[in-house]
Every structure is written in structure tokens, then in C-alpha cells.
Amino acid sequence: MEQLPVFYNLKGRKVVITGGGTVAARRTEISLRSGGQVTVFAETLGDEFIELQGRADFAHEARPAELDDVTDAAMAFGASEDEAIDGALYELTRAAGVPANIADVPEQCDFIMASIVDRSPLVIAVSSSGTAPILARMIRARLETMLPASYGRLAEFAGQFRDLVSEKLESGVGRRKFWERAIYGPTADLVLAGDEERAEEQLRSELDAVLKEEQGQPMGQVFLVGAGPGDPDLLTFRALRLMQLADVVVHDRLIGEGVLNLVRRDAERVYVGKRPRDHTLPQEEISQLLVRLAKEGKRVLRLKGGDPFIFGRGGEEIETLAAEGVPFQVVPGITAASGCASYAGIPLTHRDHAQSCVFVTAHGRDGVIDLDWKSLLRPRQTVAIYMGLTSLDRVAGEFIARGADASLPAAVIDNGTRVNQQVVAGTLGTIASDAAAAELKGPALVVIGSVVSLHEKLQWFEGERSAPNLAERSISTELLI
């Protein structure tokens, strides 16, 4: 991050502004709205200041600012658009140790002004860290249209009950659970519909319910969530929602930072590793960890790459949960074969090439490859092999030894759907050496079948270049949660 986003308390604090034109008027207006005590230094003031005359929190000085004026100010804005005047103000702020913002002079800005969506007391600030103010403004405009004005009322309503809730619910976890219930549930719906009387009844009954839960035996639950192959855009809505509710996230190597960054920020993170032949925590211990955390009353997000029920051992984990009476829910994810094939432009089935598709793993129990070769060699079939990179030489050899044509197209998709995706395409006879030459690091998916020949024509994903605009992506994600 280029800057630290903060919401600054300006109430009753001195704000110094130079200039009497539009830029100064906007700075004045926002400072007054935030409770600042504003003095504007300008020879004359434009029409936009007329309504401010006579206000106790506004003063006009028709002279240049001096050191005494700036001392003790909370902040100063150079907004005269005159280099000499604003530059002089900047010098004063250096002497007084006051943060300054000089319009259109980035190197003289200790802070920048964000684009704001004001649903007070709910305020959303968008910044491009000074790099693309127009983009920030465009995002702000979109947010304006997407957020009903009544969200401000909802924030205000919640604010009225903050003290009551803090008094009744001692634990931070309890308070958070309560507010999540209120904001995601019928209480919020009633406020947004304008029925605050019934909203209050609903809120009080939910408060009682949470209080009872707090006093009883705590029991959390486990969300077994498929996070897809890597691109955060491939998460489901449900996955995103549960990621916001988690107290603790238990994740492994396949979960990239892009996805982890969407988990509730203050959720505890537990890494349980897992590379082939490097099991940081044995499976049974992972299952027991989930049980223990849930029994402590926590909402546990067990985040798995792809789909938890496809070569993910999700079944084993929830078997343990079921046996221990721990409530759980399972959220499917886009499995690697589906995600990687789409992003590599390889349709897994195609009328001219393949009528069936099988998913297999080359990593059997204790590392032994134990595949039903006969069924894999069926004509007009695509074979997607998980965990097949390290044994690719052997697997391709077995295919050929059992009668497959060495010229049958084959591909390896490394880090599929991620910005560093690499696709190596060849044939059964060449794919192992092609992949070795490309020094792929994995995770990688192997695809064997005539559909691979379509890759050249249908490839579209170019990593970073074709990933959707990052700002747009994070904004849409935040709004969905």
C-alpha cells in the first residue's frame, strides 16, 4: 500500500486553507462537514463561499497565512492554485509540523483526499494512491449508484444500540456474532424497509438469543470451502460470504494470497501445509484441529484449493466432524481440471474430439501410481491428471506402452488460472521432456487427449494482461460480501 487509509477526527480542530476559488471551496466544505474549524486565507472569496459567511466554524482572512495561523492546526490545504501562495503555506507547515495537502503537487502532499461515498455515518473512501484519480472517481460513482441512501440509516440505527450490546455481551466474539446476525439478517432488512420499530424488536430478540448461546456450551462450526484453483474471481458468492464470518482459517499451500486476502482481516490463520511428500500436519491431525477449534466455539473456515471433494480429502475431514457432532457445511469450488482447462483454452469435451472426460490422480496411497489404465485409454476421452507432474514421464510411458499413440496431444497447465499460468503443449511422446525443459514448479495439471490440439486456437488467458482490472475486481468483491 502506498498510503495508510485512516478516518481522521477533525471535530473542533483548526484547518487552514489558502485560496478563494472552487478548489478551496471544496476543501472548505468537506472540512466543515467533518467538524473542522476552518480559516481561509485569500484576498477575495468566490461565490461558493457566500453561504458560509457568518458561520461560527468558518473565518476568512484577506492576507497571507503566517506561522502563528498554522501552528496547532490539524491540517492545511494549499488550494489557491497559485504556486507561490501554496508553496509559502507548505513552508509554514514544515516549520509547524502540520500535515499538508497542496493541490496538484503530489510531492507536497503528506496525505491525499480520497473520493468519498457519504452515507453518514457510513463513509466509503476510495483512493488510487494519487496514481489515477479519475479511476477512483469512476469507482466512487459506481458505488454511489449501488449503495442505497438508507445504508446511512442502518449505520445510525446500529450506532443507537452499540452501548446496550456492549453492556450485555462481554466478549468481543459474542458482540461480533451478534452484529453479523443483525446486519446480515432481518433486522437490517427492516431498517432498510423503513420499519425501525419492528427492527428494534427484532434486534432485542436476537440479542437475547445470542446471550443465551453465550451462557450455554459454546459450539462453533466448520465451513469446508472450495476456493477454486487460484484466481480469486472464481470463488463462489457463498465462499466469499463465509470467508467474512470466519474466526479462524485453516488453509494449505494451494491457497494463494489473492484468496487469503479476502478472508476477514482479523481471522486467525493456521497454515497446515501439504506439498506432495511434505505433509506439514498429518491428515488426522488436521481433522482433529478442526474439531478442537469448533469445540472452542469458533467458526472455522477450512479453505481448500479447487473443490474440497475432488482429490481434496474433504470427505475424510467431515467424517471426523460428523463423528464428533460438530456442525459443518460444504461449499463446492471450481476444481483444477475445470478451471485450468478453461483458462488454457482446452475444452474438456468437444463433439469432434471427446465425449467423456475422467479426472484421476497420479498420486496414490503411499505415492504408488495405481490407475485403471484400460479405462483411461478409451478413445474420444479426455484424461485430466491431478498431481501428475512429478510422475509425468512414467504416466506417459505407461499410456504408450499400453497402446496409446505417441502423437496423442497432451498438455501440462502449471499454476492454472493464476497470473503466472504456463501451458506446455506437446504429445504423449514429448510432454515429459517439454515440461522438464520448462522447469515447471506446480501445482500442475496434466491433460491428455485430442482436445489439447484446440489450445493453440482457443487460448485467451494471458496472465496479468487479461486478468480483470484489479481495482474493479476488489470493488466488486467487497460489494458482494
Binding site for ligand SAM (CB under 6 A): 229-230, 254, 304-307, 310-312, 335-336, 340, 386-387, 413, 415-418, 442-445
Shortest gap between Cβ of 378 and ligand SAM (angstroms)? 21
Which grid cell sits at 217?
Answer: 456450551
**Helix pair angle (283-295, 314-323), 10° resolution:** 40
The amino acid that residue 173 corresponds to is V
Asked if 52 and 30 count as a contact pair (C-beta separation under 8 A), the reply is no
Could you give the C-alpha distances from 278 to 96, 290, 394, in angstroms and in order? 58, 20, 21
Shorter beta-carbon distance to ligand SAM: residue 58 or 461: 461
Provide, rounded to whole angstroms, the least separation between the CB of residue 423 and ligand SAM.
Answer: 10
* Catalytic residue from among 14, 274, 298, 304: 274
Is 159 within 8 Å of 141 (Cβ atoms)?
A: no
CA dihedral 124, 129, 133, 138 (to 10 degrees): -40
**In this structure, is the dihedral angle defined by the CA atoms of residues 286, 288, 291 and 292, taken in order, positive or negative?**
negative
Burial of 55 (0-12, 13-18, 19+ CB in 10 A): exposed
Residue of 86, 252, 307, 434 marked catalytic? 252
Q: Which is nearer to ligand SAM, 245 or 444 (CB)?
A: 444
- Fill in the DSSP letter of residue 306: B
Question: Closest approach of Cβ 462 to ligand SAM, in Å?
Answer: 16
Contact 85, 66 (CB under 8 A): no
Please report which residue ranges of 333-387 form alpha helices under DSSP H. Answer: 336-344, 373-376
Q: How far is the CB of 413 from ligand SAM (least distance, A)?
A: 5
17 vs 448 by CB, closer to ligand SAM: 448
- Report the residue number, 49 or 386, with the smaller CB distance to ligand SAM: 386
Q: In angstroms, give the least distance from the CB of 307 to ligand SAM.
A: 4
- Cβ-based nearer residue to ligand SAM, 36 or 306: 306
Give catalytic status of residue 274 as yes or no: yes
Phi, psi of 61 (to 5 degrees): -120, 125
Catalytic center residues: 252, 274
